[in-house]
Amino acid sequence: MKVGIFGGTFDPIHNGHLRVAEEVRELFSLNILYFIPVYTPPHKRDKFITDTEHRVNMIRLAIRGNRFLRLSDIEIKRGGISYSFDTVCFFEKKYGDIYFIIGMDAFLEIDTWHRYKDIFFHTNFIVMVRSLGLKKMGIEIFPEDMRHEVRQIDQNMFQHTSGRYIYLQNITQLDISSTKIRELSLNNRSIRYLLPERVENYINKRGLYRK
C-alpha cells in the first residue's frame, strides 16, 4: 500500500489542492491520498481559521466521487497543536510506505518544525516544485545540520540514512489560493471555477467568508 498524506488548512479546499493531489497520486501510483486538515497549525496559532466542521465538510464534498482521495481527521481528533511528526508516525504505523506531500516553500523552512530531523525516519517526501530543470537543486535544500544524513541519487531524488526517499516533483501549480477565495467572497465577488461547485454552494449557503 502506497499512501500519500497531504496536510493543510484547507480554508477552503480548492482546485489548486485537488489538481496537485490528482497529479501526485497518478505519478507515484499511490493507492490512497489523504487530505489532513490541520487543527491548530504551529505557525499560525493566532490566525483565525474557519471551524473544523466546515473545513471537513468542504473536503468531503470536494473529494466525493474520487475513490483514491480520502479525508483524515486525525489532527482534529488529536486536538491541540498539530505537529506533522505525530501525524507521520500515526500513518507509518498504519500503512508503512507513506509519502508526505509538501510544497518546496514549506520544505525549505522545515528546520522550524517540531522534531524535523526525526520526521525523515518515518516517511518519504514528495516535494512539489514548479520549475524543476530550470534550476539545479542539490543537498542545500536540506537544513545544514542534517545534510550528512542525506545523499543525492539523481537530480530529482535523495535518500536519507533511514532508507526513505525524498523526491522532487514538478507539478501544475494553479494560481489559486484559499486567501484569494476568502478575499473574493468577502468582497461579494464570484469564486466560481476556483473550487468544486459543491464547495462553492456550501460556502454560499452558509455565508462563509462573508462580513
| Site residues for ligand ATP per CB under 6 A | 8-11, 16-17, 20, 102-103, 106, 173-174, 176-179
Smaller CB separation from ligand ATP, 3 or 18: 18
Considering the complex, state which of residue 178 and residue 185 has its C-beta at the smaller distance from ligand ATP: 178
Shortest spacing between CB 204 and ligand ATP, in angstroms: 19
110: its cell numbers: 522545515
Q: C-alpha grid cell for residue 119?
A: 520526521
Cβ proximity to ligand ATP: between 32 and 104 the closer is 104
* Residue 177 Cβ vs ligand ATP, minimum distance, rounded to whole Å: 4
CB of 55 to ligand ATP, least distance (A): 9
CA separation for the pair 164, 122 (Å, rounded):
8
Shortest distance, CB of residue 26 to ligand ATP, whole angstroms? 15
Q: C-alpha cell of 2?
A: 502506497
| Nearest Cα to Cα of residue 146 among 106, 193, 113, 189 | 113
Distance from C-alpha of 94 to C-alpha of 92, rounded to nearest angstrom: 5
Listed in sequence order, the residues at least 6 apart from 77 whose beta carbon sits closer than 8 Å to its beta carbon are: none
> In the bound complex, what is the minimum distance in angstroms from residue 60's beta carbon to ligand ATP?
16
CA distance 137 to 197: 38
Distance, in Å, from the CA atom of 198 to the CA atom of 152, rounded to the nearest integer, reads: 43
- Give percent helix, percent strand, percent coil of the chain, each to the nearest 5: 40, 25, 40
**Closer to ligand ATP at the Cβ: 15 or 93?**
15
**Residue 75 Cβ, how far from ligand ATP at the closest point, in Å?**
12
